[in-house]
Structure 1
């Protein structure tokens, strides 16, 4: 219970999903963001995995609840259930595999169909450390992003280039939508919420 006269910091929680073809590095990006490490070989995601990190966004503690979806076609219909209530989609392709970029439009269609209307989507061309093997130009990714109203950047899960920036930029965009009244945290399907503070055994509040 809140003590009179004491201000309590109410953390925010935003639901993220990662989408894109298998093998583009979604799980590696997430591991770099949550644990600040790179693992060269990761087992393919089966169904969906969950990770979390609390970040400070403009002075507000914000919990990012991230659902890492499998890119295999086998799980595609199943994974659409995780799009619901999402505030952010991280849409990833591999700059060294042309077909993964060609499939981006299909993943975006899935998000438009199953996710809330005000979804914030970040398009990421991953593995930019492998520039000599590039088959998708930076301009192609940038132009696709502009044409579809998406934020775009290239990243490397290996070197951590733009990994932190992608996740935190998305959170700041969601915060701006809340401030502008575009998103309502009290809405059932907004993909975000204000979290009640944890209560310690002594009856005080923890922020």
Structure 2
């Protein structure tokens, strides 16, 4: 079976549920006490699409302002981006647009783009309508999904869509599929991360448990593909 490797970056403000979304999908687990990601967390998962095996390398980036300068390191060589906002927070939706602009400034080639409205389990507190989010997504050429990381509603569809689009790109032999990233990217990320102080925030930030992890103070094995 042919293997397709795709790098996926997950963006959005702190607290919108980026880590919960990744963990719910990859590890089938929702943590009610997820702490802010420091730097980024890395997850790897495989999806069967038709006769292809798609290996998603998912980079869950930190949403705090102090980590924004680090974000372009994760954009490099990404085939797909999942930009998440909280449907109960208009501010997170407006901030998400900034993440999209930043992404487009740093990625020269076309990229699979998905906008995700999280926390539909809190629909009674909704501040961003589906129509508003869908309309915005169309203007930037993105596919739109609404999900709940807490109840695992809709999340599988998001990653399946990304995998299917990677397969389509691969079949057309476009550079969007199977772009590689090397250990230099990891070293740059870790060099930046090592300069951060864990006391910059009020709470002690513990690393998130995942298949693999990049965060402040953690060592990382080189990734070849």
| Pairwise same-fold verdict (TM > 0.5) | yes
Q: Which has the larger radius of gyration?
A: 1
Pick from 116, 126, 137 the counterpart of residue 129 of structure 2.
Answer: 137
2:106 paired residue number: 114
Distance in 2, matches of 1:113 and 1:181, equals 24
Asked if the contact 1:67–1:82 (Cα under 8 Å) also holds between the matched residues in 2, the reply is: yes
Asked if the contact 1:86–1:116 (Cα under 8 Å) also holds between the matched residues in 2, the reply is: no
1:32 paired residue number: 24
Name the TM-score, length of structure 2 as normaliser: 0.77
1:20 paired residue number: 12
Asked if the contact 1:87–1:116 (Cα under 8 Å) also holds between the matched residues in 2, the reply is: no
2:169 paired residue number: 177
Aligned pair in 2 of structure 1 residues 93, 10: CA closer, same or farther (>3 Å)?
A: same
The alpha carbon displacement at 1:187 in A equals: 5.7
Name the TM-score, length of structure 1 as normaliser: 0.83
Structure 2 gap segments, 5+ residues each: 182-225
Asked if the contact 1:96–1:130 (Cα under 8 Å) also holds between the matched residues in 2, the reply is: yes
The alpha carbon displacement at 1:184 in A equals: 5.9
Asked if the contact 1:85–1:116 (Cα under 8 Å) also holds between the matched residues in 2, the reply is: no
2:42 paired residue number: 50
Deviating more after overlay: 136-145 vs 175-184: 175-184
Say how many residue pairs are matched.
181
Does residue 97 of structure 2 align to residue 125 of structure 1? no
Asked if the contact 1:84–1:116 (Cα under 8 Å) also holds between the matched residues in 2, the reply is: no
Distance in 2, matches of 1:33 and 1:85, equals 23
C-alpha distance after superposition, 1:145-190 (max 9, x if no partner): 111110001000011111011011011112112223433657667x
